Structure 1
Amino acid sequence: MTGVTLQKAVKKYGATQVIFDVDLTIEDGEFCVFVGPSGCGKSTLLRMIAGLEETSGGQIYIGSRDVTHMDPAQRGIAMVFQTYALYPHMTVEQNMGFGLKMNNVPKDEINRKVSAASKILKLDDYLDRKPAALSGGQRQRVAIGRSIVRGPEVFLFDEPLSNLDAELRVDMRVEIARLHKELGTTMIYVTHDQVEAMTLADKIVVLRAGYVEQVGSPMHLYQDPDNKFVAGFIGSPAMNFVAGVAEAGGVRVPALSDIVVPTSVTLPTPGTAVTVGIRPQDMELTAATSPIKLDIRERLGGVAYDYLTTPTGERLVVESKGDLAMEEGTEVTVSFDESRTMFFDSESEIRLR
């Protein structure tokens, strides 16, 4: 197994810089996910590791080897793309072994490696089929199998599930997690879907506009975000943010009946604006005479998501039990777990601690 290290990695297109001094260590056998909104640089960073994008500055190491300017074929990586890129005239078996065949690997060895990959991915019954006769999830498994037979040191996945429907995405997510557990190989995975990131990753790298905002385990980022961006990006539904005002020993929240939330964090000068973060899971609704009304309720069976608008015009989402008897238009009061509330500087968006 082999880890990956980036030291002050930079990417520029002419005068435009898109990746800024990324320092990152991905350990041997770790499943690392790059996550962030569209255009944040996550696919560019992955392509730099693969050698498909030239690195403008800094170094990239795979294991102990400096691969910064090395040809992609020499890096010991295998990449799985968003599109399957299978040869339509070849069978599954031929597609999986084609790369080895082009490298003049003996036929017996190709058959052995394809057979091993096929068993891992449960493709034995499809080896004689062509891609047109496969479902989207099966095609993606063939693309992954083509990477497995190469025996790479590092797997790179660039949004591999984006073209699949919702049910297949869940199935393939489980397959990839199982694959990592079985192979134990270092994997780097790019997605904009934070649910994929939370369920797959050992380590998540949150990117925004070419900068790394925070690195950590899924639950660390969820429970202890460094700033408002990470707090809002990690977790589903997203964290609620409302305006607050610092006071001695607490923060007053005008949107929620001027409640003062006590806190021991270091607050700015009394009267200073503070952003208050509350997760939907930590909130509860009660039917009562109030200026707040339940606007929309999304029923998902076991849970429901309630959408509210406060008197100050701020939007809130509350996660409730799916069988809670409360209809749209009901006047409600909002309570929440004050001990789990987070506070952020309204200008810098850095979390107050």
Structure 2
Amino acid sequence: MSGVTLRNTVKNYGDLEVIHNVDLEIENGEFCVFVGPSGCGKSTLLRMIAGLEETTAGQITIGGRDVTDLDPSERGVAMVFQTYALYPHMTVKENMGFGLRMNGHPKAEIEAKVTEASRILKLDDYLDRKPKALSGGQRQRVAIGRAIVRGPEVFLFDEPLSNLDAELRVDMRVEIARLHKEIGATMIYVTHDQVEAMTLADKIVVLRGGYIEQVGSPMDLYNDPDNKFVAGFIGSPSMNFLKGVVDDGKVVVPALGEQKISTAVTLPSEGSDVYIGIRPQHITLSAKEGSCVLDLREQLGGVSYDYLVSDSGEKIIIEDRNQNILPTGQRVSFEINQNEIYLFDGETEKRLR
């Protein structure tokens, strides 16, 4: 298996640049996830690595080999798409071995590779079935098996779980994680679901508008975000952001009743706007009347989520494990753990450290 390197990679559609000078190193055997909102460029970047999109400028190497101008078939990659793209008239076994048959591989070799892929993906009981007799999760495993039998240097996944229901998505996440552990291949996976990214990745690449915002391990991005966008995107429920103003070396937060917060970080100039970031589990709800209204409460058994709206229109999510049941519409207040706050510049949205 091989690593993937992108150097100053650019993609243009006419005069429109959609991928901007991307530099990225994906190590051999690493599970790398591209994550970001719709339109951020994650699928385009994956398709450039696959050779399905032409690279306007820059270089892409796989295993140290420059593949920038090579056809997809010459790059040593296999791609699993959102749609299964299985041949309906073929059995599972025939679907998995079709690519090798088309390339003239010996029958015994095809049989051996399909058998091994079937073992890894637990498809032995389904080899003689046709796709219409399979569930969505089973069809996706067949599509992955078709990629495995090719023995690629790099596996590419383009939102492969998007068409599955919630329970199957969880099951398939486990299957893909187990697959990576068993075969140790380099895998690049595209998703808009940050939960998938957090649970699968060795390395996450957060994209926005064709730029890389931050690269790191899941917990590095969760605990040490570089900017407000990454802080809000990584973590579920997402981080809360409260508006504040620098006043006499402290931060005044209207949603906290003009409370002044002391901090050791370097603040911008007096009167500058800042954002305080605080995760839902670091906020405590109070029945004491305050500057917020309890808009909605989600009760999920062992944990509940309270959705507040401040008088200034800020939306605040609180994780509550104390089973405090307050009526919606009630005016409430809250307290934050000041040891767990993050500060972001109000203009650039970069993290203040």
TM-score category of the 2 structures, normalised to the smaller one: over 0.9
Shift of 1:169: 0.5
User: Are 2:256 and 2:291, in contact at CA under 8 Å, matched by a contact in 1?
Assistant: no
| 1:271 Cα deviation after fit | 1.5
- 2:297 aligns with 297
* Unpaired segments ≥5 residues, structure 1: none
- What is the identity, as a one-letter code, of the residue corresponding to 1:118? S
Deviations 1:197-234 (A, max 9, x none): 01100000000010001000011111111111111111
Q: Distance in 2 between matches of 1:323 and 1:144?
A: 43
Report SS of the residue matched to 2:17: strand
State whether residues 300 and 322 of structure 1, in contact with CA within 8 Å, keep that contact through their aligned partners in structure 2: no
The alpha-carbon deviation at position 321 of structure 1 amounts to: 1.6
- TM-fit CA distance, 1:277: 1.0
Give distance in 1, aligned partners of 2:132 and 2:37: 32
Q: In 1, Cα distance between the equivalents of 2:14 and 2:76?
A: 29
| CA-CA distance at 1:323 after TM superposition | 2.9
- Cα offset, 1:331, TM superposition: 3.2
Percentage identity across paired residues of the two chains: 70
Letter of the structure 1 residue corresponding to residue 167 of structure 2: E
- Whether the 8 Å CA contact 2:77–2:153 is kept in 1: the answer is yes
Deviation at 1:250, TM superposition (A): 2.2
1:182 deviates by: 0.5
Q: Which residue of 2 aligns with 1:11?
A: 11
**For residue 74 of structure 1, what is the aligned residue in structure 2?**
74
CA contact (8 A) 1:308 1:317 kept: yes
- Note the C-alpha offset of 1:328: 1.8
Q: What amino acid is aligned across from residue 216 of structure 2 in structure 1?
A: G
Q: Could you say which residue in structure 1 is the equivalent of 2:344?
A: 344
| Farther off after superposition, 336-345 or 313-322 | 313-322
Check the 8 A contact 1:256/1:310 in 2, yes or no: no
User: Within 1, Cα distance between the matches of 2:44 and 2:64?
Assistant: 22
The secondary structure found in structure 2 opposite 1:33 is strand
TM-score of the pair, normalised by structure 2:
0.98
* CA offsets 1:69-120 (integer angstroms, 9 cap, x no match): 0111011100000000000000000000000111111111111110110011
Question: Match for 1:161: what amino acid?
Answer: L
Question: Which one is further off, 330-339 or 277-286?
Answer: 330-339
Q: How far, CA to CA, are the matches of 1:319 and 1:91 in structure 2? A: 48
Unaligned runs of 5+ in 2: none
- The alpha-carbon deviation at position 315 of structure 1 amounts to 1.1
State the AA in 2 paired with 1:142.
V
The residue type paired with residue 233 of structure 1 is: F
Q: Greater shift after overlay, 220-229 or 249-258?
A: 249-258
Structure 2: which amino acid aligns with 1:192?
Answer: H
Determine the structure 2 residue equivalent to 1:114: 114
**Partner of 1:320 in structure 2?**
320
Query: Following the alignment from structure 2 to structure 1, what is the Cα–Cα distance between the partners of residues 312 and 305?
Result: 21
Q: After the TM superposition, which residues 237-248 of structure 1 pair with which residues of structure 2 at under 5 Å, given as runs?
A: 237-248=237-248
How far apart are the structure 1 equivalents of 2:337 and 2:114?
Answer: 53
Shift, 1:327, TM fit: 2.9
1:146 alignment counterpart = 146
Is the 8 Å Cα contact of residues 249 and 264 (structure 1) preserved in structure 2? no
Aligned length: 353
1:190 is aligned to 190
| Alpha-carbon offset, residue 288 of structure 1 | 1.3
Paired residues of 2:303 and 2:320 also in contact (CA < 8 A): yes
Letter in 1 for 2:230: V
Instruction: Find the aligned partners of 1:93 and 1:100 in 2 and give their Cα distance.
Output: 12
The equivalences for 1:248-259 within 5 A come to 248-259=248-259
Question: Is the 2:257–2:291 contact (alpha carbons within 8 Å) kept by the matching residues of 1?
Answer: no
The alpha-carbon deviation at position 289 of structure 1 amounts to 2.5
Higher mean displacement: 98-107 or 287-296: 287-296
User: 2-side partners of 1:321 and 1:332: how far apart?
Assistant: 17
Name which of structure 1's ranges 173-182 and 333-342 shifts more when overlaid on structure 2. 333-342
The letter of the residue matching 2:124 is D
TM-score by length of 1: 0.98
d(CA) in 2 for partners of 1:289, 1:127: 64
Match of 1:155 in 2: 155
Q: Provide closer, same or farther for how the CA distance between residues 218 and 265 of structure 1 changes in structure 2, counting only shifts above 3 A.
A: same
In the TM superposition, what is the alpha-carbon distance from 1:322 to its structure 2 partner? Answer: 6.9
Task: Give runs of ≥4 in structure 1 deviating > 6 Å.
Answer: none
Per the TM alignment, residue 307 of structure 1 is displaced from its structure 2 partner at its CA by 0.6
Give the deviation of 1:324 after TM superposition: 2.9
Q: Give the Cα–Cα distance (whole angstroms) in 2 for the partners of residues 256 and 41 of structure 1.
A: 38
Conserved in 2, the CA contact under 8 Å of 1:80 and 1:157? Answer: yes
Distance (Å, rounded) in 2 between the aligned partners of 1:303 and 1:243: 27
Q: Distance in 1 between matches of 2:175 and 2:247?
A: 51
8 A contact 1:299–1:322 mirrored in 2 = no
Alignment partners' CA distance in 2, 1:189 and 1:48: 13
Q: CA deviation at 1:304?
A: 1.2
Say whether the 8 Å CA contact 2:255–2:292 is kept in structure 1: no
**What residue in structure 2 maps to residue 281 of structure 1?**
281
Distance 1:117 1:168 in 2: 20
Conserved 8 A contact 1:241-1:276: yes
Do the aligned residues in 2 keep the contact of 1:50 with 1:72 (CA within 8 Å)? yes
Q: After alignment, is 254-263 or 243-252 more displaced?
A: 243-252
SS in 2 for 1:32: strand
Aligned partner of 1:211: which letter?
Y
Q: Residues 59 and 66 of structure 1 are in contact (CA less than 8 Å); yes or no, is this contact kept in structure 2?
A: yes
Match of 2:316, as an amino acid?
L
